[in-house]
Amino acid sequence: MRKKLIAGNWKMHLNTHQASILLHRLEEHVETHRDVEVVVFPSLMNVQPLNVQINRHKMKLGAQDAFYEDEGAYTGEVSAAMLHSVVDYCLVGHSERRHIFGESDNIVGKKLAAVVRNKIAPVLCVGETSAERAANETKQVLHDQIMSGLRNLTAKEVEEMVIAYEPVWAIGTGDFAKPDQAKEAIDTIRQNVRELYGDKAEKGLRVLYGGSVNADNAGSYLGVDGCDGLLVGGASLNYKEFSKIVASAHSKVGK
Ligand code: PGA
């Protein structure tokens, strides 16, 4: 059985002190369950202090981005090699990286390969803009992002990875996708992976939904066939709200 995964993307919020307090609160409130993994993605600045603080029996730690070269003259960047043994997971190709920082599918593919090469579990983010959805291009966009994102990976590596479906129009807007829209996109992702990497890879792959997830709507996505969890932005900064989201994953997998 695939473990559920509830991920909290803290984005560029919280100084080191605030991040430490939020982690502390989460560790007090988030219940553990053998079939539910919980991962927090603080800013890169706070990854190292939280690596020391975090209780890995309760929660795992992730980075929001990593550069694709292991070392070199790349001012301002942090490599996946440097994050190795500090984080368990790394986001790759989040829509804010793609749209604000101009990361192409090609760059995303190189970053994904670097993360895997450095033994960090990748969460590849894919999703269409509202214009692409309106033009009926969602399936094509997902196909292209998957083709190019995964191009350097083996079937075994794909089997062990995570893909988050995050429609750009739903991120930080409150305009969350309807569960049947999420289902259609998740089916498309799974179908692409099956065609490119085979049944075994698709069966192991975990697919998440993300975009304006909160404690009220979380359960509706967790009930979608083929959806293995959630990537939560804004609501992950509130420990009560995030703990409720984790609790709704527990209720889906049973005691
Ligand atoms: P949101 O962000 O939950 O605030 O919409 C989701 C994300 O960016 O991963």
C-alpha to C-alpha distance for 242 and 251, rounded to whole angstroms: 14
- Does 250 participate in catalysis according to the annotation? no
Q: Determine whether 57 is an active site residue.
A: no
Q: Whose CA is nearest to atom 6 of ligand 1?
A: 233
Q: What residues does ligand 1 touch, defined as CB less than 6 Å away? A: 9, 166, 171-172, 210-213, 231-235
Best of 43, 99, 124, 171 to mutate for ligand 1, by most ligand atoms within 8 A of CB? 171
Which residue has 């090609």 as its token pair? 106
Query: pLDDT tier at 239 (50, 70, 90 boundaries)?
Result: very high
The DSSP element (H or E) to which 16 belongs, if any, is: helix 16-29
**Rounded to whole angstroms, what are the CA distances from 86 to 53, 122, 164?**
12, 14, 22
The average confidence (pLDDT) of the chain is 97
pLDDT of the residue at 64: 98
Q: Please state, in angstroms and rounded to a whole number, the distance separating the CA atoms of residues 205 and 70.
A: 26
The 10s digit of each residue's pLDDT in 180-215 is 999 999 999 999 999 999 999 999 999 999 999 999
pLDDT digits (tens, 9 = 90+) for 2-28: 999 999 999 999 999 999 999 999 999
Residue located nearest, by CA, to atom 7 of ligand 1: 233
Model pLDDT, residue 138: 98
At 1 the pLDDT is 83
**Ligand 1 centre from 73 Cα, in Å?**
32
pTM for the model stands at 0.97
Q: For residue range 122-136, what is the model confidence (pLDDT) as tens digits?
A: 999 999 999 999 999
pLDDT band, residue 255 (cuts 50/70/90): low
Q: Kindly report the backbone phi and psi dihedral angles of residue 36, in degrees, each rounded to the nearest multiple of 5, phi listed first.
A: -130, 120
State residue 93 phi and psi, 5-degree precision: 70, 30
